[in-house]
Structure 1
Amino acid sequence: MQMQQIRERFSQVEQCVDAAAQMCEMSKDVPDRLRTCLNELEQESDHAVQVAEQQQSEEQIRQCVTKMEKIGDRAMQACSQGGYVDEQVQNAVRQARKAISTLKQQLH
């Protein structure tokens, strides 16, 4: 995959992550664990974009995406184990996790 395509995909992932974080902020009934995961996901997403913009190796980019995927998994668990979580928040988290997974598949 070309670096420009990777940056575009990261942009899409970042939009999904940001949307999930915004939904989380707007909802009152979000477990702290989910908030923490989404904050970590935003930070790692920002880091991944920087790595891609600096045209680091694809291996470094893959590592960032793998880390994002693990954080996304924890966020999904927090949605299902944290009691009631608004359906819109759950959907936003699912979309972010799916975008990360799709990017990971495209990188391999």
Structure 2
Amino acid sequence: MLQANEIQQTFSHIQQTIGQAEQACNASADTPQDLKACISKMARDAKTAGDVIKSNDESRIIKCVDDLEDMGDEARRLSRSDSHISPQVESAVTKVHAELSALKHKLH
């Protein structure tokens, strides 16, 4: 498993990436409501997960990251199922998913 400080740094970066995705979704009139809701929920859950990350409780950290990565899967599926999504939103969602997936694999 990664060191606690590595997990915290990586997760802090992921929180920023989720925030950027949320901003991109809100800035684009073409973003479907279900995708906006998914990214907003991910942003809220990431804030809660930040406290779990600081707890250094390995099993809780893994569960939080797994749950967020599942939401990232859903966001990516939603973004790919709509041909009217802006390239900025598509890119932001893909980046969030990739970063969560990479952290998940490092934790398992």
Q: TM-score, normalised by structure 1?
A: 0.94
1:46 aligns with 2:42: no
Structure 2 letter corresponding to 1:96: V
CA distance in 2, matches of 1:61, 1:31: 30
Contact 2:4 2:56 in 1 (8 A): no
CA distance in 2, matches of 1:6, 1:48: 12
Structure 1 letter corresponding to 2:88: Q
Offset of residue 44 of structure 1: 1.4
CA distance in 2, matches of 1:106, 1:13: 14
Secondary structure of 1:29's aligned partner: coil
The aligned residue for residue 106 of structure 1 is 106
Question: Could you list the runs of 5+ residues in structure 1 that have no partner in the other structure?
Answer: none
1:59 aligns with 2:65: no
Secondary structure of 1:84's aligned partner: coil
Shift >3 Å, 4+ stretches: none
Secondary structure of 2:94's aligned partner: helix
Question: Could you list the runs of 5+ residues in structure 2 that have no partner in the other structure?
Answer: none
CA-atom RMSD in angstroms: 1.0
Structure 1 letter corresponding to 2:104: K
Secondary structure of 1:16's aligned partner: helix
CA distance in 1, matches of 2:19, 2:64: 17
